[in-house]
Structure 1
Amino acid sequence: MSAPPKTRGEPITDRRQLVAYLESGSKPASDWRIGTEHEKFAYRLSDLRPLPYEGPDGIREVLTRLQRYGWQPVEENGNIIALTQDDGANITLEPGGQFELSGAAVETLHQTCAEVHSHLTQVKEIGAELGTGMVGLGFQPKWRRDEIPWMPKGRYRIMRDYMPKRGSLGLDMMTRTCTVQVNLDFASEADMVKKFRVSLALQPIATALFANSPFTEGKPNGFQSFRSHIWTDTDPDRTGDLPFVFEDGFGFERHVDYLLDVPMYFVYRDGAYIDASGQSFRDFMAGKLPALPGETPLITDFADHLTTSFPEVRLKKYLEMRGADGGPWRRLCALPALWVGLLYDGTALDAAWDLVKDWTTEERAHLRAEVPRHALRTPFRGGTVRDVALEVLKIAHAGLVARRRNDNWGDDEAHFLDTLFAIAESGQTPADELLAKYHGAWGGSVDPVFKEYAY
């Protein structure tokens, strides 16, 4: 989740400015980068409870101590709510204290994985001092929603009040989920459209491979990825798999129309979040926003508004892949590897499009609905999602080999997919692994996950 926005930018006087804003993300392949984000649950080792913001072992103290590694604080109302570095990396907080690294934009997966390793080393060192730990899962496995502390960020207060009006699981999404995602570039409108369609169609495949949230409040919940299911009952105005992306004529203009129909949450002015929940950005552009009558938006307001839509793939000035549960170190490197392999090599992208281009709207909806519960075992076209996953991984592997981005030892990027091949070939998801331990060695308790799977 983003740090507080800045009240700057040119006034918006025409819808075409919004189209141009998205289009300005287009860049040549030589300038394409990889930006990886991952969230994790922070907890006390003594009682496994989520870290509060305040206190000697709280989130504020973790953020304060991380500054020894060169991180600079970002404050809101006197509270440290984010950290930044000169390379563009930042650390932010999700509403329930989930700790997120938004990595720098790097050229190779080797750099991505080195960045992840460095970050996890830092938080582990701080945790050893404070008696805290962090773990990557898709959903908080033990604690109830009312046992999760809220972070002191103004936008979260507005969202907290609005979410229950639109779905029954929005507050769970805010406080009890963790994801890993990757942000990738496009060359042109046509390239964006092709990548958007491929990644939307294949997002359920990523959800299945990364499914890692089978517990709720200490018990199996009947899902492989409960995190993914939660998004189906969060807010229908701003979530989903966006069927219109597959319609003829889709491009930046059509996507702007979608964004203008997503109800607002807030406007940021002079260090404060102004509640505009449920109001229309179209009215804002006309100077008729009830929250700020007579004012028209700045381009930064539109950039903020983009962060309040939550589809399976999100278009900003780049594309965000949003379908995966959080997980351990190797899977944090594997998620960007999957999508870079599919989208950053032309031959691989063509092969991926050939795979999905005749999937119907109904078939894509079927995958979105069923994969959270059944993951790789979801039936699809006479086979299962596992069959599709194996084909997708082969395409991604070939794409990474073709990139020829080798490390100092001469290895290319394809080995970052090894952990996903192991999952697909075995047919056993991370959730299956957790459930087997729960019913076996863990004796019906989820507590061991905080030790055995801690970073």
Structure 2
Amino acid sequence: MCFKIGPPRLVGVEVEWFVHDDRCPTEPVPPERTRAALRSLPLGGEDGTSLPSGSRLTLEPGGQVELSSRPATGLLACVEDTRRDLTALRAAFAAQGLRLTGTGTDPLARPRRMVLDHPRYLAMERHFDSAGPWGRIMMTGTASLQVCLDAGDADGPHAADRRWLLAHRLGPVLVAAFANSPLLDGKPTGHRSTRQIVWSRMDPTRTLAPAPDHGDPREAWAQYVLDAEVLCVRRPDGIPWTAPRGLTFRDWLRGAGERPPTLADLDYHRTTLFPPVRPRGHLELRMIDAQPGDGWVVPAALVTALLDDPVAADAALAALEPLEALEAPRTPGPQQGADSPRAPRSDVWRRAATLAVADPELRRAALACFAAADAALGRLPGAGRLRATVAGFAERYPARGRCPADDQLDALRAGTRRTPPEEAAP
């Protein structure tokens, strides 16, 4: 069920935002104000049914707001529907004096805290805290853009295994081109995508990509799910969901847990895994930093054009081939550690997070992918305006060796902005 086979048709996005107070941006926003903004939407309620195009809304552990679009038939419908819902969402928050800020890490030095006390998040906090601060930073101080596409056909130009391969190989280029998190706690970190660095330092059993030595992505994913540590075990009300440290789902199946696992446990376990590309029936690309304003449109268009147009897919795979040589590990380590060729801990992924498209190899690959996407959008009826938007981004950023993170760093040096710009993409 993680790879539902069929011709690619549907497109969706999940867009995440930090919430800032326009008057006091360095102060945390009480969750009550965020909920009040959500309740003010037409029809009211927080169940995601109140936006014009039917997107769902959820609150993240640190108070971030995530909008998940409905699956749309094609890229153009997805962009139109999501823009309509975001317009309504922004208006509801502006009426409360709040701003939705699109950036991969919270750029301001303000207290980070968990605002949700669901047993899942408490178990996650406990699990990640044992290995350092990275899990807590991820939950409360990062935001992403996720692009969701159908898994693909059994074979042919839209074969699922080919799309799976391209999505993974495209990962470093997406990190580099759309890097937008150079700050943490108000200070530069030395990385263009600090969010990607945070993910690379967390539990490797749930953040690395599945092993590439399985030809069938379904087999690779099955092994990955079994070998990932169990993050939480659902229990009756009032009993913590904390899982025994080091317990994998394979161990649990073999009798190591407190009770035999159920199919529901397996389904829930899959929701606690966070690789760069997660199969959920469709493919969910998770490596892209949140973008300012309507900047989410460009990565959504780029990814969809490259995966859904067979000619563009061939061109992208050829352009990404040189990056594969950079993936070789220097020294093999246990548990696919820091020198693993598996994303996001290989050298090319680290360079993408730190240098972005200032890296010559990543810049060349990015420009080739943008060119392939431009040609694909030229073959898509009605995509002229969207094609111009993507081309404008390519000219403004990768063609000049820049990414959105550089705008934040420029503003910090100039002292001109308190929070990242939220104007629409060019």
Q: Which residue identity does 2:301 align to in structure 1?
A: A
Quick one: structure 1 residues 153 and 425, their matched pair in 2 at CA, closer, same or farther if it must change by over 3 Å? same
Q: Deviations over 1:389-433 (max 9, x none)?
A: 10011112222333x2426xxx37533413431211122211112
Match of 2:284 in 1: 320
5+ residue gaps in structure 1? Answer: 1-20, 75-81
Does 2:40 align with 1:65? yes
| TM-score of the two chains, using structure 1 as the length reference | 0.80
Pair 1:341 & 2:305 matched: yes
Q: How many angstroms does 1:334 deviate by?
A: 0.9
SS of equivalent residue, structure 1 residue 97:
coil
Structure 2 residue aligned with 1:39, among 3, 13, 16?
16
The 3 A distance-change label for structure 1 pair 217 and 418 is same
- Quick one: distance in 1 between partners of 2:253 and 2:38? 38
**Residues 138 and 100 (structure 1), Cα distance of their counterparts in 2 relative to 1, 3 Å cut:** same
- Cα 1:248/1:151, change in 2 over 3 Å: closer
Structure 1 residue 274 corresponds to structure 2 residue 248: no
Partner of 1:15: none
Deviation at 1:117, TM superposition (A): 2.1
Q: TM-score if structure 2 supplies the norm length?
A: 0.85
- Contact 1:260-1:280 at 8 Å conserved across structures: yes
Once the two structures are overlaid, the 10-residue window that deviates more, 203-212 or 180-189, is: 180-189
- Does the 8 Å contact 1:238/1:309 carry over to 2? yes
Most deviating of 274-283 and 416-425? 274-283
Q: Which amino acid aligns with 2:241?
A: I
Give per-residue Cα distances to partners, 1:206-226, cap 9 Å, x unaligned: 111111111122222211111
Residue 171 of structure 2 aligns with which residue?
203
Distance 1:289 1:181, change over 3 A: same
Matches within 5 A, 1:402-421: 402=379, 404-406=380-382, 411=384, 413-421=386-394
Which residue does 2:183 correspond to in 1? 215
Q: 1:248 to 1:268 in 2, by over 3 A?
A: closer
Equivalent residue in structure 1 for 2:356, among 365, 375, 389 = 375
Once the two structures are superposed, residues 78-102 of structure 1 have per-residue CA deviations (whole angstroms, 9 ceiling, x without a partner) of xxxx667797631111110110001
Shift of residue 153 of structure 1?
A: 2.7
SS in 2 for 1:171: helix
What is aligned with 1:181?
A: 146
- What residue in structure 2 maps to residue 10 of structure 1? none
8 Å contact kept, 1:285–1:297: no
How much has 1:266 moved relative to structure 2?
2.4
Does the CA contact (< 8 Å) of 1:167 and 1:235 recur in 2? no
The question of 1:438 aligning with 2:412 is answered: yes
Q: Is the 8 A contact 2:46 2:57 kept in 1?
A: no
Asked if 1:389 corresponds to 2:366, the answer is yes
Instruction: Measure how far apart 1:339 and its partner are.
Output: 0.7
Q: Which residue type is aligned with residue 243 of structure 2?
A: A
How much has 1:271 moved relative to structure 2?
7.2
**Taking every aligned residue pair, what percent have the same amino acid on both sides?**
28
Q: Does 1:301 align with 2:265?
A: yes
Bigger mean CA deviation after superposition, 411-420 or 264-273: 264-273
Q: CA deviation at 1:159?
A: 0.4
- Establish whether residue 153 from structure 1 lines up as the match of residue 126 from structure 2: no
| Mapped contact 1:71–1:85 kept (Cα < 8 A) | no
Larger deviation, residues 366-375 vs 182-191: 182-191
Structure 1 residue 309: Cα displacement: 1.3
How far apart, CA to CA, are the structure 1 residues paired with 2:235 and 2:49? 21
What is the aligned counterpart of 1:96 among 51, 62, 75? 62
Q: 1:311 to 1:173 in 2, by over 3 A?
A: same
Distance 2:414 2:301 in 1: 32
Contact 1:405-1:413 at 8 Å conserved across structures: no
Q: Would you say the 8 A contact 1:168–1:234 is kept in 2?
A: no
The corresponding residue for 1:252 is 218
Please, which of 229, 233, 238 is the counterpart of residue 206 of structure 2? 238
SS of the equivalent of 2:286 reads strand
Give the Cα separation in 2 of the matches to 1:249 and 1:130.
52
The 1:321/1:274 distance shift into structure 2, 3 A limit, reads same
Q: CA RMSD for the aligned pairs?
A: 2.6
Instruction: Say whether residues 1:135 and 2:101 are aligned partners.
Output: yes
CA distance in 2, matches of 1:248, 1:135: 40
Are 2:62 and 2:112, in contact at CA under 8 Å, matched by a contact in 1? no
AA paired with 1:372? A
Segments of 5+ residues of structure 2 without an aligned counterpart are 330-340
CA distance in 1, matches of 2:204, 2:357: 26
Query: 1:289 deviation in Å?
Result: 2.6
Name the CA distance, whole Å, in 2 between partners of 1:147 and 1:285.
37
1:193 alignment partner, one of 139, 161, 166 = 161
Larger deviation, residues 361-370 vs 34-43: 361-370
> CA 1:62 to 1:353, structure 2 compared with 1: closer, same or farther past 3 Å?
same
Query: How many angstroms does 1:73 deviate by?
Result: 3.6
Task: Give 1:277 deviation, angstroms.
Answer: 5.5
Cα distance in 2 for partners of 1:227, 1:337 equals: 22
The answer as to whether partners of 1:334 and 1:419 remain within 8 angstroms in 2 is: no
Mapped to 1, the partners of 2:51 and 2:404 lie a distance apart of: 33
Distance 1:147 1:22, change over 3 A: closer
